[in-house]
Amino acid sequence: MLCYSSALFIILVGAVLAQIDVNQALNQNKLDVGSSVLNDVELEKTFPRTNLSRMRSALHSLRQNWSAKLQAMPARNYESGGGGNQGADGGVQQPQPLREKPRDRIKTEGDTLHQVNKAAGLNDILYQGDMVLTDEQIGTILEAQKDGSTENEARKRRQAYRDRYYPSTIWGNSVYYYYDRTATPKIVKAFEQAVAFWSNVTCINIYQSSTALNRIRVFKGQGCYSYVGRISGVQDLSLGTGCEEFGTAAHELGHALGFFHTQSRYDRDNYISINYANIDPSFVEQFDKESSSTNYNYGMPYDYGSIMQYGASSASSNDKATMVARDAEYQDTMGSDFVSFYDISMMNEHYKCKELCPNATSAQCTNGGFPSPRNCQICICPSGYGGSLCEQRPPGCGEDLTATDAWQTVQKTLGDGLPVLRDNHTLCHYWVRAPEGQAVEIRISGLTTVTIDGCIFGGIELKTNKDQKLTGYRYCSSADQNTVHRSSGSLVPIVMFNRYASTRATLDYRAVTPSATDSTSPDATTFAPVVSSCQDLHPNCGFYEFFGMCRLRRIKKICQFTCRDCSNRNRNRNHNNNNNNSRNNSNRNNNNNNNSNNNYNPFGPVPFWHSFSAYQ
């Protein structure tokens, strides 16, 4: 019987590991080869409003232009130094080390918009990876490449589309759309969520109508793409296979409402560095920057967490970073599937929604919020804030934590552990508050979730910046363990989110006296190094333990906590002995909280297509 059990165990383990390798290979093959690439006749039917020959010629010209520009940029060693931090005075600090992290793959059709469109073979038709242009827009962009504008003029070039006909080229108060017969229930569900979101947070009324003169045709094409702004008549918005999610639908609808990409802002070089060596030559125009004749951003800062910002490895030829955040801690924030607060604020400016709420008679919002154009007596709030005036922690999961001068620890798990991609994120909000006049210091001592650009399947967001309207620093990799942040104020909102398997986070926090050198982002030389604590490095360690796989050395290595492979001394040596009682009491309380969390299933089955090699 023992031999039979051992043999069964070996077969099970072999099947698990073999299936991981097979699915990884299948996923890569689908992403690299593509499927059902359209021929020219089909393309002309798909893009009736676009001069395909001129579009190809324009993209070829842009690629040559930007290849020359990017190659001429000073070379940087991104392996040892990645962008650098943006200084408080706007100056760029020296580069910081870039933590290259192996990225997980979850969906066979591709996890990102770029992967989906690359497989569809649309790179010679779409501008910046997912935008269809009219003949006039093609001409405007080509003309902007040789307009010879000065740096001061160019700094006006921003994110929202404003041509010389603005505001007559925006939709006005009403936007119309209809579903083509090819639209699947998944497409309808995702697009309806995007419609509801943009409608609720702006004054834009978005109606379904198949007879309106100007309307958007939502259909299942090859890939994900949209026209930019209202072009008059019927304009297409495709949500093909792999695009039927809220984040992608909100991104494409953002284009249709008038947004370009965040990384195409003219001032983007102050915030991201482009690593030409990693760029797929077929997508080099993705890093084109817009002109003053087409862009404007209403004076709003660059937000790495914008729904219109591509991921760090987008358009990569080798899965390595093509864009490196100058504030290195924002590297994984790029590529988000959340609509950021600044996205919402900019859309409201673009459609003049804020004019509907006079300051004297509207809600007096706190923490950077602004009155909702749907109800001027309540506020639209930055992430991490809630209540009618943005003065409260958002309702639902989460808690208030009080920081003292002693280190305390909070350990939380979010998600059911199942390898099922849910439609929407589950969110928990935590507020860590220090005494008035003090700052909060937070250390990530453990983090287990899916590692991917934008943390689109789960992670944590730490809001330590002075500007609380900005997206906070997002993390979704065990490589981020030991990262330390010090806040600008006495309150730090923390957002934990998950929509696949589970996200586990262990955070240490304490109150500290702010110093004159404190900044909005961490300085790696300021804080003492932290010894790695006992943590799981894989979201499905419960599965491995349940089937007795903790006897395997490599399983034990990635699941130290679940496999009980660390002593009490190792678990506690991250902190001084005089803080042990405080930490143990905190851990006991957190264990009680975790036991009552019905969302977490520690024995969820392993997703066979999940990257395993990243944790070996």
The annotation status of 251 as a binding-site residue, yes or no, is yes
CA atoms within 13 A on the CB side of 544: 27
Amino acid symbol at 130: D
| β-strand partners of 94 | none
DSSP 395-446: SSSEEEEE--SS-EEEEEEES---S---SS-EEEEEEEEPPTT-EEEEEEEE
Amino acid symbol at 146: K
CA distance 325 to 155: 19
Pick the closest to residue 164 from 293, 1, 49 (CA basis): 293
DSSP 521-545: S--TTTS---PPPS-B-STTHHHHH
The annotation status of 610 as a binding-site residue, yes or no, is no
Return the SS3 of 11: helix
**Alpha carbon of residue 194 to chain centroid:** 16
The annotation status of 575 as a binding-site residue, yes or no, is no
CA distance 339 to 543: 34
Instruction: Select which of 79, 153, 244, 252 is catalytic.
Output: 252
Which contiguous run of DSSP H or E holds residue 55?
helix 52-72
Residue count of the chain: 616
Burial class (CB in 10 A: 0-12, 13-18, 19+), 359: exposed
CA distance 375 to 354: 11
Burial class (CB in 10 A: 0-12, 13-18, 19+), 565: middle
Burial class (CB in 10 A: 0-12, 13-18, 19+), 474: buried
Give helix then strand counts, H and E, for the chain.
Answer: 13, 21
Q: Output 576-584 pairs: Cβ under 8 A, ≥24 positions apart.
A: 576/407, 579/406, 579/407, 582/406, 582/407, 582/408, 583/407, 583/408, 583/409
CA distance 277 to 521: 28
Cα 98-314-59 angle, rounded to 5 deg: 130
CA distance 287 to 265: 10
Token duo for residue 498: 């998950």
Question: Residues of 583-592 as b/e, b for ≥16 C-beta within 10 angstroms?
Answer: beebbeebee
252 as an active site residue: the answer is: yes
C-alpha distances in angstroms, 382 versus 100, 174, 385, 467, 475?
29, 26, 6, 10, 18
Point out the annotated binding site for Zn(2+).
Answer: 251, 255, 261
Q: Where in the sequence numbering do the catalytic residues fall? A: 252
